[in-house]
Amino acid sequence: MPDGDAVAVLLKGYPRLSETFIAQELRGLEERGFRLKFFSLRHPTEKKRHPIHSEIEAPVRYLPEYLHHEPMRVYRAWRKLRGGPLYKTAYAVWRRDFKRDRTRNRIRRFGQALVLAAELPADIGHIYAHFLHTPASVARYAAILTMRPWSVSAHAKDIWTSPDWELREKLADCEWAATCTGTGAAHLADLASAGGAPRDRVNLVYHGLDLRRFPSAPPHSMADGSKPDAPVKLVTVCRAVPKKGLEDLLKALSMLPNDLHWRLDHIGGGPLLDALKRQAESLGLSDKITWRGAMAQADVIAAYGAADLFVLPAKIAADGDRDGLPNVLMEAASQALPLIASDVSAIPEFIRHDETGLLTPPGDAAAVAKALESLIRRPDQRLRLGRAAEGHVRSEFNFNVGVDQIAALLTQGAGRRAVA
């Protein structure tokens, strides 16, 4: 597709600080000659941007975030499309979906698809959505309306909290799907097969890390937690949402011996921040924790460099939401930080227990406390695990491999259409 048709990239929101893995892929596609045009379902809510967002050349157009905010835009799109046979087909697909999902969100998806289809530039040859839930629905309806092929990259929540019927039908309709973990790929391949699509429609594509954006790992301290004026510095980078297990981390920290000296920086926003701050206060931890909020990538990298240990006790949330392979683990590893994380989802695809980090059972605060105490007291073990983690990410998780896979999928799809 380089030097040919442009690709419409459908995003849930753009730009987003928590989605650097998407931004690095899209910039990588641009560097390989793809012409991209972004369509976002939501406006940005964060004032900060990562440097990579300034490097991306693709223009972005925002679809109506809520249909009642731009009713005339939605009406014009409907008027333009409603008379043709493609509209009847798309409406029938949406109507079947709506009978099984009678929500405002489902209505909004169809309205956004109408606007996307009506305003899609003529040079767009393919629609590519990131996330298999809402963005893929909009892409699917718009693809029917415009007779364009579409594809999707799935990640984590969109796989595990979407109903199986919807995933089966989307996988049957899309040209190809990619996802970033072996566990997610196996699950989606099973669903694709159950829906009549070939299992190889689903492709395992690790995000990896664009190591050009990360400096060489700095030296980390050899503090052992025995001195109040030389605490071991812990860092966690994640949104404050249930699947990150931050309440378990706070419980674990409260279990550490009083003679052990440490400090924790949390980087990220999220709806649970206030509740977590209250929990930290009730556990007597407030003076040891700094809540730094959302930060640009350069500041996050600096925080990795200043820390001694990275921790992320992720788990499966009550609604089934879970992480895939959190990019922050690879980021921290690139800076030679030892890792403590949960043995859940795809995290063991990256962390090898006692080789590149320590794995603990999800939701087990006592196990997290034991791992923390071990690594706080033993700087030699931190050094060994951190160096191994850095070597692992640099040798096995370079982002160029994943971007090349996505580029090949987009190009092969264009080739099949040209032959047809």
Pinpoint the alpha helices (H) of 102-156: 104-119, 134-146
Q: Residue 311 in 3-state DSSP?
A: strand
Distance of alpha carbon 151 from alpha carbon 166, whole angstroms: 15
Distance of alpha carbon 113 from alpha carbon 116, whole angstroms: 5
Closest Cα partner for 300 from 275, 270, 337? Answer: 337
Cα angle 320, 326, 330; round to 5? 165
Task: Report the phi/psi class of residue 270: left, alpha or beta, with left for phi > 0 and alpha for psi in -120 to 50.
Answer: left
Q: What one-character-per-residue DSSP string does 335-351 give?
A: TT--EEEES-TTGGGTP
Q: What one-character-per-residue DSSP string does 71-83 give?
A: HHHHHHHHHHHTT
> What does each of the 420 residues of the chain score in pLDDT, given as a tens digit?
555 799 999 999 999 887 888 999 999 999 999 999 999 999 988 878 888 899 999 999 999 999 999 999 999 999 999 988 899 999 999 999 999 999 999 999 999 999 999 999 999 999 999 999 999 999 999 999 999 999 999 998 899 999 999 999 999 999 999 998 899 999 999 999 999 999 999 999 988 888 888 899 999 999 999 999 999 999 999 999 999 999 999 999 999 999 999 999 999 999 999 999 999 999 999 999 999 999 988 899 999 999 999 999 999 999 988 888 888 999 999 999 999 999 998 899 899 999 999 999 999 999 999 999 999 999 999 999 999 999 999 888 888 989 999 999 999 865 444 333
Distance of alpha carbon 81 from alpha carbon 284, whole angstroms: 61
Q: Which domains does the chain have, with CATH numbers?
A: 6-208+398-419 (3.40.50.2000), 212-396 (3.40.50.2000)
Which tokens in the block code for residue 118? 């009506």
State pLDDT tens for residues 316-360. 999 988 888 888 999 999 999 999 999 998 899 899 999 999 999
Using CA atoms, how far residue 143 sits from 10, 147, 169, 367, in Å, is 12, 5, 14, 48
Distance of alpha carbon 328 from alpha carbon 387, whole angstroms: 16
Preceding peptide of 219 cis, ω within 30°: no
Closest Cα partner for 266 from 288, 236, 242, 240? Answer: 236
Residues 6+ apart with CB under 8 A from 112: 41, 63, 64, 67, 138
Residues 6+ apart with CB under 8 A from 227: 261
Distance of alpha carbon 185 from alpha carbon 196, whole angstroms: 16
Give the pLDDT of residue 417.
43
Give the pLDDT of residue 62.
98
Give the gyration radius of the chain's Cα atoms.
Answer: 23
CA 389 to chain centre: 21
pTM of the complete model beyond 0.95: no
Distance of alpha carbon 408 from alpha carbon 411, whole angstroms: 5
N-terminal to C-terminal alpha carbon distance within the chain: 15
Distance of alpha carbon 418 from alpha carbon 55, whole angstroms: 31
State pLDDT tens for residues 2-16. 557 999 999 999 998
Query: Tell me, what DSSP letter sits at residue 357?
Result: B
Residues 6+ apart with CB under 8 A from 307: 220, 233, 234, 235, 265, 337
Give the pLDDT of residue 416.
46
Q: Residue 62 in 3-state DSSP?
A: strand
